[in-house]
Amino acid sequence: MKSFAYVSARDVPTAVSAIAGSPNAKFLGGGTNLVDLMRGNIEQPDTIVDITRLPLTGVDLLPDGGVRIGALVRNSHLAAHPLIRSRYPVLSQAILLGASAQLRNMATVGGNLLQRTRCLYFYDTAAACNKRAPGSGCDAIGGFNRNHAILGVSDNCLATHPSDMCVALAMLDATVEVESTRGVRRIPMNEFHVLPGDTPHVETSLAADELVTAVELPSVAVAANSRYRKVRDRASYAFALVSVAAALEVTGTTVTQVRLALGGVSAKPWRATKAEEVLLGAPATEESFRQAAAAELAAATARPGNEFKIGLAERTIVAVLRELVTKGDAA
Amino acid sequence: MTTTVATQGGIGTNAQRPDGALKARGEFAYSSDLWHEDMVWGVTLRSPHPYARITSIDITEALRVPGVQAVLTHEDVPGTNIYGLEHPDQPVLAEDVVRYQGEPVALVAADHPETARRAMKRIEVAYEVLPPVVNTEDAAHGRAEPLHPNGNVVRHVKVRHGPQDVRADVVVTGEYEVGMQDQAFLGPESGLAVPADDGSVDLYIATQWLHADQRQIAVALGLPPEKVRLTLSGVGGAFGGREDLSMQVHACMLALRTGKPVKMVYNREESFYGHVHRHPARMYYEHGATRNGKIVYVKARIYLDGGAYASSTGAVVANAATLGVGPYDVPSVTVDCWGVYTNNPPCGAMRGFGAVQAAFAYESQMDRLADAVGLDPVEVRIRNAMSEGAVMPTGQVVDSPAPVVELLTLVRDKPLPAKGNDLTDMPGGVSNTTHGEGVVRGVGYGVSIKNVGFSDSFDDYSTVRVRLSVIGGQAVASVHTAAVEVGQGLVTVLQQITRTELGVDVVTIEPMDTSIGDAGSTSASRQTYVTGGALRAACAAVRAALFERIGHTDLPLDHDKIVEVLGTDVIDEVVEWRHRPTYRLDPETGQGNAHVQYAFAAHRAVVDVDVELGLVKVVELVCAQDVGKAINPEAVLGQIQGGTAQGLGLAVMEEIQLADGKIRNPSFTDYLIPTVLDMPPMVIDVLERPDPHAPYGLRGVGEPPTISSTPAIVAAIRAATGMALTRVPVRPEHITETS
């Protein structure tokens, strides 16, 4: 681990000015990802700005029926919160399927948004990785890439975003509130994470001096009939091969509202807008679900190691929608 | 007559483990907890390349780091820079070539581990990178660059039994693959070396075989063995992965150079590079049978990837070859098994030792045969099952119970579990992947055979000292041996045997070290048999000495009598004990009485498979195993459950992922082992059919359950899906046929 300076911030203005003066500084929240990466010399910040004392821990109902979540709310707290459990069950499910109870007790909402990839080559400092060392190449492309991305990939990077929570946030059209010495800015969730393109080391639209202060969820009535499914290699403590967050409203036999997002398949939580387009107004049938899934995955590009993810993603989408129809009927 | 009065906690009881409560409370001292005043920390610089020539090593900058006490390379190895468990071929520190990623190149000692790591990064090693040899079959057949002076074949074992080139009405063939499994012990490699004034050294270490370590360390240090003293430290699991040296020589070198105690602890990632793994295998099988399903012949070619250095590859090859047709009567056997050098990580001992790989292939073949002749999978196994008196492919006659039919019948006849309604019973478990739709149930069987103890003419023995004295009016026996406790419960078993043999309640197990003779390795399911046998003999010697004092032998021996007779005297007996000799396999035919004992287990697996998503939930595992005599019945159940879980891991998730010789998943985040949510409840039958040649009639327990659980689970997945599934671990993409 490289030596670093440590600053503890007591309020948001102190935190953002501390980071504004240090180009290679990082905020420290739960530390569940950053500290591991520092131990492995993958992250090497000069300064750590400890933000754990900031008053960003509220979960509050907004006048328009949405919910505002402070950036330092712990994952376990958010998953158990009555507002989330009743209005956004998909978010609660997604969080509880991530990591372990111990990690969820430490990890924060802001930190979850900013998690780095679990690409095996990103973690191996002897391997070429454009994300860790821009311009060094990508050993995942010709290497072991079973866990890697199939949507929005580039010739420079195949990494996936590891978060479960973010898949649900993308499906719910959340907004991320960020603050710097220049003021406050609101970023739609689907613009928060960016695709690798030629700059895979740039993972979000967050500027280096900006602090995530809150996540806001709009009021989403259809979220009451929502579900998060995670397909992985063992029953717990594993990253998603593919995950699906979905919400569905069927009126009569027609899909009148639908939201769909995928995890484990891209450098960002993947909002499945093509599938949504096919489904909206279509009959709520197995055939529509298959067509929608195929439409979304039509643009997928796979390597021999991760080709299975295309079919797996399609079948998972169909299975979740099928379940939501049944569940909606019952309700 | 020399009877003893049974006390509490003798053999056959569930005597409490002396280390159990400490471990459950987190108070047990493992080797990573070792501490010494003035100690410094050692770290290892490893090769990032699977195959490269070293053109130079420059340690100048590393030595300049404040706090650094020593930086050592191959030039500093005081003795012979070569070691190996069976066959010395591995340098303590690489000289002009590295043959696997992670091979040790240099050592640093510093007053803080972080200082040592920083200094290590300043060592400049110039490599000329070479293309790695990674194809096992190319290596076996001379189609790859030789990595060692005598070529790439470590051992080729041929077994030729019965008439060759026979024909059969029904023929089934198959090609099978087993991925590289890790022992995944929870306590990473660690040790503490303490130098003495006379140039000798004491090493406190978590290992499986103190004397084999001592012999290899002494040669590398250029010291007589008595100047290298080893004491066992707390071992956090082993499973074969601690049979080879890791940091033993390194820590001693640093201690002797700095004159200070040196502690070394690997982290999880380094641990993946610091020990051998289970050999990956590629296997080609052909079974010929009658239309009634009776096997006429088996032909097999088995390739085992030994990686960069030999380790115990030779013995693993012999096991895979001699046990390669399974617990069946086969009149004609033609097996060729190769273990080869490649630039993959070195492979060696892991629970099941060659029998695991072969069992996946031969049990898969038995299911294919069942299909081909239209028989139930259990029925085809029963028709071919061996029994006592059977002749092995080596010509060896099985001269103790071999209840294969009974084991199969027991697991078959257990009631089948009901379909679960709870989400956690579904494939994907709590991940909400299914609520029962698209889920298909399957049932599969596996049965295994494993040799117990060291084979192939190895002089397999153990040494035990028993001391009987009276302390504070109470008779106390103390037991001293170099046989190591790795978590399996040996210390409990030694106490139980002593209580039964001497009739005393208080039995002290002394620290395990090299101040007494060799006890052999804690491996091959052998310690209860061999060290247990030695202990029984030592107790008999103590008892004889006691009766000599009394002058007659026809009275029961109880505590009060011992106290009365012994007074202030001490009886102290040391015994070296051997099992029946084994004999070398004929190099051309593989014939010979190579094994001392065989052990058998059978499994039934019930799985639910989500065929849409390719997810498997193992719903139930039933196991029946013959243990001859259960010295500690609860410990036996623990071994069966643990071994079964390790087999489950190999069946559905555990694999070291390799790309061009490099390990891609050296962490417990990426190398998945089963959790409690993956491991189902077990139903276990323990048979006790005594082996007349073994102490108490017992049979080794640890390995057989690991061997048969893997093929049983895969057979169940096949039954559910109708897929061929010829490779383990089975992954979702194999079941959905998308890979």
- Note whether residue B96 is domain-resident: yes
Judge whether B426 and B617 are in contact, CB under 8 Å.
yes
Provide the pLDDT confidence category of residue B459 given band limits of 50, 70 and 90: very high
Q: Identify which of B527, B487, B496 has the alpha carbon closest to the alpha carbon of residue B234.
A: B487
* pLDDT above 50: residue B1: no
Q: A34: which 2 tokens?
A: 């950053």
Closest CA to A237 of A96, A111, A26, A121: A96
Does any domain span residue B556? Answer: yes
* Residues B374 and B264 placed together within one structural domain of the fold: no
On whether the CB atoms of residues A245 and A167 are closer than 8 A, the answer is yes
CA atoms within 13 A on the CB side of A300: 27
Tell me, yes or no, whether B259 lies in a domain: yes
Quote ipTM for the complex. 0.91
Mutate to test the interface with B, among A308, A317, A325 (most CBs of B within 10 A): A308
- Helix H, strand E, coil C: the string for B189-215 is CEEEEEECCCCCEEEEECCCCHHHHHH
The reply to whether B408 and B342 lie within a common domain is: yes
CB-based contacts of A122, cutoff 8 Å, min separation 6 = A42, A116, A129, A131, A132, A159
User: According to the model, what pLDDT value does residue B421 have?
Assistant: 66
Mutation target to probe the B interface, by most B beta carbons within 10 A, among A3, A38, A100, A234 is A234
pLDDT tens-place string over residues B131-156: 999 999 999 999 999 999 999 999 99
Q: Are residues B312 and B395 in the same domain?
A: yes
pLDDT (average), residues B439-447: 96
Residues of chain A with CATH 3.30.390.50: 225-330
pLDDT digits (tens, 9 = 90+) for B576-591: 999 999 999 999 999 9
**Residues B292 and B380 reside in one and the same domain:** yes
Residue B657 and residue A144: Cβ atoms within 8 Å? yes
Per-residue pLDDT, averaged over B591-613, amounts to 96
**CA B676 to each of CA B376, B623, B636: distance values in angstroms, whole numbers, following the listed order:** 32, 18, 19
User: Which residues on chain A are in Cβ contact (under 8 Å) with B435?
Assistant: 323
User: Can you give the pLDDT at residue B2?
Assistant: 44
Q: Residue B593: inside a domain, yes or no?
A: yes
Q: Do B672 and A323 touch (CB under 8 A)?
A: no
- Could you tell me if B599 and B564 lie in one domain? no
Task: Indicate the SS3 state at residue B566.
Answer: helix
B433/A229 CB distance under 8 A: yes
Judge whether B122 and B52 are in contact, CB under 8 Å. no
Distance of alpha carbon A213 from the chain centroid: 16
Q: Which one of A120, A308, A310 has the shortest CB-CB distance to B670?
A: A120
Q: Are residues B650 and B665 in the same domain?
A: yes
Q: How far apart are CA A138 and CA A157, in angstroms?
A: 6
CATH at B219: 3.90.1170.50
DSSP one-letter code for B695 = G
Distance CA B733, CA B739 (A): 5
Do the Cβ atoms of B431 and A237 come within 8 Å? no
pLDDT score of B738: 65
Give, in words, the CATH class of A5-50: alpha beta
Amino acid identity for residue B559 in this structure = H
Average pLDDT over chain A, rounded to whole? 95
Q: Structurally, how many domains does chain B consist of?
A: 3
As a whole number of angstroms, the distance between CA B59 and CA B86 comes to: 33
- Cα–Cα distance, B105 to B46 (Å, whole number): 5
Q: Residues B563, B474: contact at Cβ < 8 Å?
A: yes
Which of B556, B578, B600 is at the close of a domain?
Answer: B578
Closest residue on chain B to A39 (Cα): B114
What separation in angstroms does the CA of B549 have from each of B406, B477, B545? Answer: 48, 17, 7
Average pLDDT over residues B211-227: 98
Return mean pLDDT, chain B: 95
The reply to whether B608 and B700 lie within a common domain is: yes
Residue B461 pLDDT greater than 90, yes or no: yes
**A322 at interface of B, judged by CB pairs closer than 8 A:** yes
**Residue B155 belongs to some domain of the structure:** no
Question: Same domain for B524 and B650?
Answer: no
B599 with B671, same domain? yes
Across the range B602-617, mean pLDDT stands at 95
Quick one: B68 and B211 in the same domain? yes
Could you tell me if B224 and B361 lie in one domain?
Answer: no
Q: Which of these ranges, A235-249, B175-189, B431-445, has the smallest mean pLDDT?
A: B431-445
The per-residue pLDDT for range B485-495, each reduced to its tens digit, is: 999 999 999 99
Domain with CATH 3.30.43 in chain A: 5-50
Q: How far apart are CA B541 and CA B535, in angstroms?
A: 10
Q: Which residues does chain A have with pLDDT short of 50?
A: 330-331
Q: Is B703 helix (H, G, I), strand (E, B) or coil?
A: coil
From B545, B578, B611, the end of a domain falls on B578
Fold of A225-330: Enolase-like; domain 1 (3.30.390)
Does residue B86 sit within a domain?
A: yes
Q: Provide the residue range defining the domain that includes B574.
A: 20-29+461-578
| DSSP category for residue A310 | H
d(C-alpha B81, C-alpha B90), whole Å: 8
> b/e for B627-651, b at 16 or more Cβ within 10 A?
bbbbbbeebbbbbbbbbbbbbbbbb
pTM to 2 decimal places: 0.95
Q: Which of B45, B38, B79, B72 is nearest to B193 (CA)?
A: B38
- The answer to whether position B209 is within a domain reads yes
Q: Which pLDDT does position A331 carry in this prediction?
A: 45
Cβ neighbours for A76, distance < 8 A, ≥ 6 positions apart = A95, A101, A104, A105
Mean pLDDT for the stretch of residues B263-276: 97
B112 in reach of chain A (CB within 8 A): no
Answer yes or no: is B174 within a domain: no
We report the CATH number of the domain holding residue B482 as: 3.30.365.10
Please report, rounded to a whole number, the percentage of residues in chain B having pLDDT higher than 90.
93
Point out the residue among A236, A239, A307 whose CB comes nearest to the CB of B675. Answer: A236
Helix axes A286-297, A308-330, angle to 10 degrees: 140
Chain B environment of A233 (Cβ under 8 Å):
653, 672, 731-732
Per-residue pLDDT tens for B105-120?
999 999 999 999 999 9
Residues B196 and B71 in one domain: yes
Could you say which of B578, B613, B628 is where a domain stops? B578
